[in-house]
Structure formats: C-alpha cells, structure tokens
Amino acid sequence: AQKITQTQPGMFVQEKEAVTLDCTYDTSDQSYGLFWYKQPSSGEMIFLIYQGSYDEQNATEGRYSLNFQKARKSANLVISASQLGDSAMYFCAMILNSGGSNYKLTFGKGTLLTVNP
C-alpha cells in the first residue's frame, strides 16, 4: 500500500521569499504519479502540479516547482516569491498507475502555510 508523509504541520514564510514544503512517499510500484494540491479555508482542493515517476525533469508550473528525488522518494514543493494569497493548507498526494487503482489519490496530512507581510 502507498503512503504519503508530510512532516511539517505548519510553515511560516515572509512575503516575496521562497519556501519548500516537504513530502516523502512510500511505494514498491515503479509507475506512479505525485501531486500537490492547495486547499484554502473555503475548502476547494486546487491542483497545483504533477510529476510522473518516469519524468526525468522536475515539473514546474509558474511559481511552483516540484523537487523530485526518486532515490530518496521525496517530492518537495517549492513556491517562489510567496504571496499573501498562498496562505493555505497544502497536500501532497500520490496515485499508482496500475489499472485497478489509478484514480485513488492517497493524501498526506497536509502542511499549513502562512505567508507574513
């Protein structure tokens, strides 16, 4: 069974600085996908970025980048130039790309990011 671990319950960052949110995963499968979602207080889960296990380059989406280290089984999210609107809960999640379970997202417990002005 797969597992996602987020060891930082909360993080603080100054506006305009960069911040790294940690995520480690555990699976014996070779084919999987890693996701980061943002959840503001409104509740909606907002998709940020995706990394496939076969992708050789780290994924980037605007101010978001995913630092994928396959040997260490880590998939850290880097947010550059933090903005006040980035304050939210951030979840790391994984799917296994097998036919029987490739819609089942497994989530970590999340990291609450607070951006200070």
Give the binding site for other proteins (CB under 8 A): 4, 31-33, 35, 37, 42-47, 50, 52, 54, 91, 93, 95-97, 100-110
Q: Is the dihedral of CA 97, 99, 100, 104 positive or negative?
A: positive
- Please, are residues 7 and 22 in contact by the beta-carbon 8 Å criterion? yes
- Cβ proximity to other proteins: between 11 and 105 the closer is 105
Minimum CB distance to other proteins, residue 47 (Å)? 6
- DSSP 8-class letter at 104: -
Question: Shortest distance, CB of residue 46 to other proteins, whole angstroms?
Answer: 7
Q: Which is nearer to other proteins, 15 or 40 (CB)?
A: 40
User: Smallest distance, Å, CB 101 to other proteins?
Assistant: 6
Contact between 61 and 10 (Cβ < 8 Å): no
